Structure 1
Amino acid sequence: MTPAAFHPEPIIVSDLRLERGGKAVLTGFSLTVEPGEALVLLGPNGSGKTTLLRALGGLVRPLSGEIRLDPQTVAFLGHADALKPSETVEQSLQFWAGLYGGDASQLDAVMVRMALAHLARRTCGTLSAGQKRRTALARIALSNRSVWLLDEPAAPLDARSRERLAALVKFHCAAGGIVIAATHVDLGWEGARVEDLRTAPTKTGAGVG
């Protein structure tokens, strides 16, 4: 892969209040994430990590507070991999690269990096959970977006694939990009900052993390 050069503005979250299902999950929450940084939002279900990630991506409206993040710079990976079962891996990645305005010339290199080259002509509906997740991560890598928001990115991955993910994140951050991941397990990303939401400001009553 040829590294892109990203120059995003810092992400600034100020005095944020979030609710899920009518219950407070975070209140008075502030955070700054600098270009070139990987941040891991760590916490069990109910700690607010997914709600926070969705708020950063513009998918959840905060009750109060401010998020300074241009949504046009964001590539979002949720629990669903967003793959059409009838499309091949290659077709799916070509589609997403085109939709994002990414660099399709990097397709082959990204597939090699994520161990997908031998699956290029397999339909996504026949892939294992881990293979689907690697394909979804490849579409994020092809997005040409400076900010990656990843929800439980390593959940279905084996040890080798987790190493590939860690290398991909390191590569993106080295180019000036920002990665924020929500997870309930240690991702083992070298140099990443961890924000433990179990100790973040909350109100009584857990929401869905």
Structure 2
Amino acid sequence: MASASIVRRLIAFLKKPDAAEGEDRAAVPQAGDAFEAQEAQQTWAGEPVTEATAPYAYSPPVPAPSSGGQSRIASYGSRLDALVMRAIQQFHAEHAYVIRHEDDGRMRYCTGRDMQGHYVPHTLVAADRRAVSLAVKSGESQLFVRTLDDNTPLSILCGPLWSDDEVIGVLYLNNPARSRLYRGVFDVFCDQAARMLVEGVA
């Protein structure tokens, strides 16, 4: 009964991208459903992606044939950005990105936001390549944690976006709060992002 209530709250939460902040946006505790971090030494690629080494091509808006020249991605993008912002708020992450996995194996950056709501351009994406690659190849959400030189913990949560039997992208959270990482909640965000990719991104 409690799990049905949680599902209803999550569905209502995701259907209202412009809803005001409130108690409904608090993390939903699910005992025994938290992520387990992997060892940093074995899984952390180390260096953030810089403007010179960004591995993700940018996908510009492509006009839809039946929309009178309007961009499908433009309307879709605002919905995706709203989802990205909700993920940042839910997990108290510093940044969040959606990256699409193309049929030829290339990764294409769709959008990203920081905790202030500012758009993160593809040239400044600080996504860990190994985390993205492992999430795509394994088809499972991955949590990576390491300690910086000043003993500050830094984490990454990267989840696959499934469509039918294919991973079509990832939802990537930079430095989410460990106390808020519940797999069931994150999977809902990944499912919603995957549906948006299927609906409108070229």
TM-score (norm 2): 0.29
Which structure has more relative contact order (CA 8 Å, sep 6+)? It is: 1
TM-score (norm 1): 0.28
